[in-house]
Structure 1
Amino acid sequence: MNSPLPFSSLPTWFVFIATLMLSLLSVELGYRRARKRQLRTEQEEEREKEAPVGAMVGTTLGLLAFLLAFTFGMAADAFHARKMALLEETNAVRITYRLAGVIPEPHRTDVRQILREYVEDRLHWVGLDKAQESIAATVLLDRLWAHAVAVGAQSPGGVDEFLGSVARVTEVRAERETVRERSRIPNDFWLVLYLLAILSLWSMGYHGGVAGTVRSPVMIAVAISFSLVMVLIADVDSPGHGIVNVSQQPMVDLRNWLVAESKR
């Protein structure tokens, strides 16, 4: 299995600093290599020309920018999919809770209690209620299905809408867990992205050495900018960790609504 790189297990500041150090090191090595080569070629009167090197560096940086944009697009699409899956799950649970009003007792009360426990479990799953005792969503949905089957057997064809709603809760639960746990940027993308970044930043430093300039602060600005973008992509691609996460407010609102409904 192609498990994601362990960005989610590392603090955001650590990923930033490690990426920044790698970027600065690449620039510095490229600069030193160019200066050393220029000193040698000056003695041989065959100094390397700046213009061709600049053109090649521009091409490399363009490829890096393209891959960064593509990778960020993958992370952003997955982020949007997680947000939509959350909304679909909350809507499915809310509708099922309402439709439970058409089924007979004791199934009605039991189904609504199961849905309340299910919402608590989902909040625990994303880490909002870490102190809350968790009941596996699979167990709760099995209990929900048992009630749905019993109701369907008692009233064949009379509760089709309720049965369809229960099926939808099961479906969106699987969709949400898939987009959260398995829709991640592949390791191959991260590997190619970092390798291309090292080559691009090395080439940029090399170009500065060929041009004969001192170490420009712009190189540091480029390294910092690249590191910030990489951390942002990694953060968006690590649901439940870091700074950028899908707001769980719709599920919290649903829990509050279910509590209020149970008191009526």
Structure 2
Amino acid sequence: MTTSIFDSIPIYYIYFGICILMLIAFEIGYQISRRSKGIKEEVEPATLAPVIGGLIGLLGFLMAFTFSIATEQFSQRKQYVLEEANEIGTSYLRADLIDSKYKTEVKQLLRQYVDTRLRAVNSTNINNELLKSVELHNLLWSEVSAAALAKPNTNTSMMIQSINKIIDLHEKRVTAGLRNRIPLSIWITLLAISFMTMTTIGIKAGFTKPRGLIAVIPMILAFAALTTLIADLNRPQKGLFKVGQQSMISLQKNMQKDVK
């Protein structure tokens, strides 16, 4: 499965890592400015202000673009959970309309499927749960196909449509959660522009003896917080922001009541 480079890193490591990286970039610019006589002779402090403003504007645009991608993907994952729960619930009800020879097995397989989908959310080895989901797809398809061949009618036709949609939604959830991520090229570009921005600010600070960290540190902390938020939204299984599974949990409880 395609995963983000940030998936295996604790979220607070990402935050402090970005803060340290930006401080290093600022210090590099400051030291270059303080130690290089050529820069002070060729560059006027006033000319750096438009450059810094342009870099900050470009950085803000890229961060807004990246944030919009992350939030859209997060919303999409939430929507697919609801759609999948609704479709499984529909299939579970429609199972009552097919021959009793197949109804019991189909309902049992659907209960197992919901259990598997919920386990996959917090599983340390999600691939095993996804393989189990595919196995259940095949078993469900075999049962409803047999029911349709044995007694073709509108009820079995609707059941086949429901199972087919469950299979489609499984693929959509896997694609949205594990494959559709913010591209590595965007992360590299974002960090590169951030590094250049802080380096340029450091160069400007070097024209005066004080570093001016009191003004720079809040900017670094804010930037690190927003970048960490984007990284967290881009991680479907770990982090502070997780897609709620309440619709699937409610469905699981209703199914369990039906067994009793």
The structure 2 residue matched to 1:107, chosen from 93, 102, 106, is 102
The size of the alignment, in residue pairs, is 256
Aligned sequence identity (%): 29
1:8 and 1:129, CA in 2 relative to 1: closer, same or farther beyond 3 A? closer
TM norm structure 2: 0.92
1:4 and 1:201, CA in 2 relative to 1: closer, same or farther beyond 3 A? farther
Q: Which runs of 5+ in 1 are unaligned?
A: none
CA distance in 2, matches of 1:192, 1:168: 38
The corresponding residue for 1:253 is 250
The corresponding residue for 1:238 is 235
CA distance in 1, matches of 2:39, 2:180: 51
The one-letter code of the counterpart of 1:34 is S
Structure 1 residue 218, shift from structure 2 partner: 1.5
The structure 1 residue matched to 2:153, chosen from 154, 157, 182, is 157
CA distance in 2, matches of 1:158, 1:220: 67
Task: State how 1:85-104 maps to structure 2 within 5 Å.
Answer: 85-104=80-99
TM norm structure 1: 0.91
Alignment of 1:123 onto 2:122: no
The one-letter code of the counterpart of 1:28 is E
CA distance in 1, matches of 2:124, 2:51: 53
CA distance in 1, matches of 2:194, 2:124: 39
1:64 and 1:220, CA in 2 relative to 1: closer, same or farther beyond 3 A? same
Whether the 8 Å CA contact 1:205–1:219 is kept in 2: the answer is no
CA distance in 2, matches of 1:213, 1:205: 11
Alignment of 1:221 onto 2:218: yes
The corresponding residue for 1:52 is 47
Is the helix fraction higher in 1 or 2? 2
CA distance in 1, matches of 2:124, 2:153: 39
Alignment of 1:199 onto 2:196: yes
Alignment of 1:7 onto 2:2: no
CA distance in 1, matches of 2:238, 2:39: 51
1:149 and 1:216, CA in 2 relative to 1: closer, same or farther beyond 3 A? same
The corresponding residue for 1:61 is 56
Q: Which runs of 5+ in 2 are unaligned?
A: none
CA distance in 1, matches of 2:33, 2:98: 78
1:54 and 1:4, CA in 2 relative to 1: closer, same or farther beyond 3 A? farther
Whether the 8 Å CA contact 1:123–1:129 is kept in 2: the answer is no
